[in-house]
Amino acid sequence: MKERNKLLKPIYFITPALILIGLIVLFPIIYTVYISFTNMNIYHWFNFKIIGFANYRRALFILDSGFISAILFTFLWTVVNMVLQMILAFIIANLLNHKLMKFKGLYKTLLIIPWAIPGYVSILLWRTGIFNTQFGLLNQWLVSLGFEGKLWLSSNALAFMSLTVVNLWLALPFMIVIIDGALQSIDKSYYEAADIESATIIDKAFKITIPLIKPVIAPAVIITIFTTFKQFDIIFLLTLQPGAQTGSTLHTIITYAYENAFITSNYGYSSAVSTIIFIILVSTTLVWGRRKRGLAYE
Amino acid sequence: MLHSFFISLVFVTLIPILYAISISLSSSNSLVSVDFSFIPKKATLNNYLILFKDYPMLLWFRNSVILAVLTLVLSLSVSIPAAYGFSRMKFLFKKSIFQGLILLNTFPAILSMFALWRLMSNDSINLVNTKFGLIIIYAGTMTIFGIMNMKGYFDSIPIEIEEAARIDGANDFQTIWMILLPLAKPAIIVTGLMVLIYVWNEYIFSITFMTGNDNFTLAVGLYSLQAGETSGSWPIFAAASLVTSIPVLIIFLSVQKHMISGLTVGGVKA
């Protein structure tokens, strides 16, 4: 009796959570995979049929379907944003830790405010307060300086710049905090030794600071790469809101999947795109997990 | 030098927020004036009064609070026992189930939103446009995070403490309720706050699922208030944005340190 009790006990503890996750997370994913093999769309809402891999072929092999260019843009977006973010956060965190620095706590608190505001609120404030063609600050300033206002979110090049600025604004606080924490774990005597050897700032950064903080910040960097890769909110809220599209055609893979489901109602196709993205994410997680066992989740 | 750099950095960083504050306090027709300044010439709370009087701001606020609190209760009451189970108990496939949860967590919820919407709008289920529907979606999404975050903390509590309690005659319930939970309080609080913030900051599920005015949350309300190129009122929108942000801002800044360790230890960024 006691043995049986011991075997049953874990069931009471974990089953409620597993049921909830199964219904809300797992089952919709399985259903998405199922829909991806059908021709479900606005005309075939009930009487859809299985069409095999047609949606996958359209996504992967028909170049003007838009998926391939969304993948390329997503990679470009991730690389550009990660590089800028790492460089800027590294410089700012180092300055915060400069020996002449005073009021560090105050500056840090003020600088992480963007992180503390609901993301969608900040993005909408940027859209209206900064980029709006009439009362956005950028155009008000341009006009008062005698220039013509610009459509910041309309052409792809300007939109890419604007989106990147907003992403950096949202993401830098987290990275600054992470690097700042890592910098404080470095033993100061390394720098004293380097000073005796009269090493330059660049030498110290590349030979002491970066190698030493690398393992400390690695998990946070990996998480941020995933977050950047999966970015939806910034692109959707700034340029793709239904009824208020700005004309830029930039899509990350996630906004592309969303658009095909909720705007153009190609449910089967959108589900195929979602499934492909899921496979990409799971395989990178597994590969990464194998190389740096458990790093991101320990 | 260093100070002027940081003062300008802080200023540049806060421009969107300062502008929103300034415009929300200004009388509403000054928004296209060229001589804009960050300190409005005639500060007035008029926009805030209009927001609460002429718009259902209080209803939106209340709906958001209800969603956040009920999600918190539901997700903690399933994820605390589960985290304990994964940390302390032996059962079949424990490791594979846990790794499965980690993989599920990499899946962006938005990609299965259509499937979820189709399931929930099914005539026999009919959970679209109900608070209950959104609560179970939020709780389900946050439960994996909760389990991962709290399991790690449970792992760090020495098992000897529980064994000692058992030798003193405490049963399972007493051991967990009176010994373990108080010890795990920091992790539970951080997880709980993350759930609250997640619900408060979520908009895409709420604008998709909450179509009836009575169920509008702050996110849906704010989304509908947006000032476009030709419509809407930017000062009212700015006021609503600030009112929406303040609760999270207060929570966030007051538990800054725990937040950061809670995030990095759990390994998930909200």
Nearest in space to B113 (alpha carbons), one of A255, A120, A66: A255
Place of tokens 């033993």: A187
Q: Which residue of A has its CA nearest to B221?
A: A121
Return the structure tokens found at B123. 């005539």
Q: Are B267 and A140 a contacting pair at CB < 8 A?
A: no
**Got the DSSP string for A234-286?**
HHIIIII-TT---S-----HHHHHHIIIIIS--HHHHHHHHHHHHHHHHHHHH
pLDDT 10s digit of each residue in chain B, 270 long?
A: 888 899 999 999 999 999 999 888 887 555 554 455 677 667 788 889 988 998 999 999 999 999 999 999 999 999 999 999 999 888 888 899 999 998 898 889 999 999 999 999 988 888 999 999 999 999 999 999 999 989 988 988 888 888 888 888 888 888 888 888 888 888 898 899 999 999 999 999 999 999 888 889 999 999 988 866 666 788 889 999 999 999 998 888 887 766 555 554 443 333
Q: Are B81 and A23 a contacting pair at CB < 8 A?
A: no
Residue A285 has pLDDT above 80, yes or no: yes
Q: Which residue of B has its CA nearest to A97?
A: B2
Q: Strand, helix or coil at A50?
A: strand
Give the other-Cβ count within 10 Å of B5's Cβ.
12
Place of tokens 């840090």: A108
Q: Are A24 and B249 a contacting pair at CB < 8 A?
A: no
Q: Are B152 and A298 a contacting pair at CB < 8 A?
A: yes
User: Taking CB atoms and an 8 Å cutoff, what residues of chain B touch A110?
Assistant: 10, 13-14
Q: What is the pLDDT, as a whole number, of residue A292?
A: 59
How far A242 CA sits from the closest chain B CA (Å)? 11
Instruction: Render pLDDT for A47-95 as a digit per residue (tens, 0 to 9).
Output: 888 898 999 999 998 877 899 999 999 999 999 999 999 999 999 999 9
Instruction: Render pLDDT for A125-151 as a digit per residue (tens, 0 to 9).
Output: 999 889 988 878 888 888 888 888 888
Question: Could you tell me which residues are beta bridge partners of residue A38?
Answer: A50
Q: Are A169 and B13 in contact (CB under 8 A)?
A: yes
Q: Which of B24, B114, B172 to mutate to test the interface with A (most CBs of A within 10 A)?
A: B114
Residue type, B139: A
Q: Which of residues 33-92 of B touch A (CB under 8 A)?
A: 34, 36, 74, 77-79, 81-82, 84-86, 89-91
Residue A27 has pLDDT above 90, yes or no: yes
User: Taking CB atoms and an 8 Å cutoff, what residues of chain B touch A174?
Assistant: 263, 269
How far B218 CA sits from the closest chain A CA (Å)? 10
pLDDT band at A287 (very low <50, low <70, confident <90, very high): confident
User: Taking CB atoms and an 8 Å cutoff, what residues of chain B touch A24?
Assistant: 116, 136-137, 139-141
- pTM for the model: 0.88
Nearest to B10 among A20, A107, A120 (CB): A107
- A&B contacts, CB < 8 Å: 242
Q: What is the pLDDT, as a whole number, of residue B34?
A: 45
Nearest in space to A251 (alpha carbons), one of A280, A221, A277, A214: A277
Q: What is the pLDDT, as a whole number, of residue A20?
A: 96
Q: Which residue of B has its CA nearest to A258?
A: B111
Nearest in space to B204 (alpha carbons), one of A123, A222, A69: A123
Domains of chain A: 65-297 (1.10.3720.10)
Q: Strand, helix or coil at A38?
A: strand
Q: What is the pLDDT, as a whole number, of residue B265?
A: 46
Q: What is the pLDDT, as a whole number, of residue B115?
A: 94
Nearest to B108 among A120, A126, A254 (CB): A254
Place of tokens 């153009």: A264
Return the structure tokens found at A59. 């996504």
| Phi/psi at A38 (5° precision) | -115, 170
User: End-to-end CA distance of chain B, in Å?
Assistant: 35
Q: Are B81 and A14 a contacting pair at CB < 8 A?
A: yes
Q: Which of A135, A168, A264 to mutate to test the interface with B (most CBs of B within 10 A)?
A: A135
- Residue A245 sits at the chain B interface (C-beta within 8 Å): no
Q: Which of residues 69-88 of A touch B (CB under 8 A)?
A: none
Report how far residue A136's alpha carbon sits from residue B20's, in angstroms, rounded to the nearest whole number: 11
Q: Which of residues 145-204 of B touch A (CB under 8 A)?
A: 147-148, 152, 172, 200-201, 203-204
How far A271 CA sits from the closest chain B CA (Å)? 8
Nearest to B79 among A17, A117, A126 (CB): A17
CA A217 to chain CA centroid, Å, is: 17
pLDDT band at A4 (very low <50, low <70, confident <90, very high): low
Q: Strand, helix or coil at B108?
A: coil
Q: Which residue of B has its CA nearest to A21?
A: B140
Residue A295 has pLDDT above 50, yes or no: no
Instruction: Render pLDDT for A151-201 as a digit per residue (tens, 0 to 9).
Output: 888 888 999 999 999 999 999 999 999 999 899 888 888 888 888 888 888
Residue A1 has pLDDT above 60, yes or no: no
Nearest to A110 among B10, B31, B172 (CB): B10
Q: Are B267 and A298 in contact (CB under 8 A)?
A: yes
Whole-angstrom CA distances from A51 to A27, A39, A261 are 21, 6, 18
